[in-house]
Amino acid sequence: MNARFAIPLAATLVATALAGCQTTAQIMDASQPQAISIAQRRAQFELSCPNVTTTVLSREEVPPVLQFRGTPRLEYTIGAAGCNQRGTYLVICPEDGSGCFAAAGRRE
């Protein structure tokens, strides 16, 4: 193998191995700020309220949709409140870090 390619390949392998050593809690902690931000922006829009506060109500790891293929998902249930309104949002983040999205919310 050419030395020019060996170092980047080794660095990639080490990074992949270290990422594989993270616990589910660490992965969830890392994705949580993005999940909160997405829920907050959606709540601001749906509630027509710029001052929304959010609270993580629950979070869990969910297996892939396809049993033997796919990416596990992280699901956060996030409550939002502002302008005398409240809503609950389910935010789903693929565990591979490809980005989160907010599923349909429930307003109260």
Residue closest to 40 by CA, chosen among 28, 51, 29? 51
DSSP H/E element including 33: helix 24-46
pLDDT at residue number 108: 66
Give 68 or 8, the one with higher predicted confidence.
68
Helix (DSSP H) and strand (DSSP E) numbers for the chain: 2, 5
pLDDT at residue number 97: 75
Q: Are 58 and 50 in contact (CB under 8 A)?
A: no
Q: Model-level pTM greater than 0.75?
A: no
pLDDT at residue number 81: 97
What are the tens digits of pLDDT across the range 14-71? Answer: 344 445 577 888 989 999 999 999 999 999 999 999 999 999 999 999 888 777 778 8
Q: Can you tell me which residue has the tokens 């249930």?
A: 77
What are the tens digits of pLDDT across the range 70-107? Answer: 888 999 999 999 999 999 999 999 887 788 988 876 76
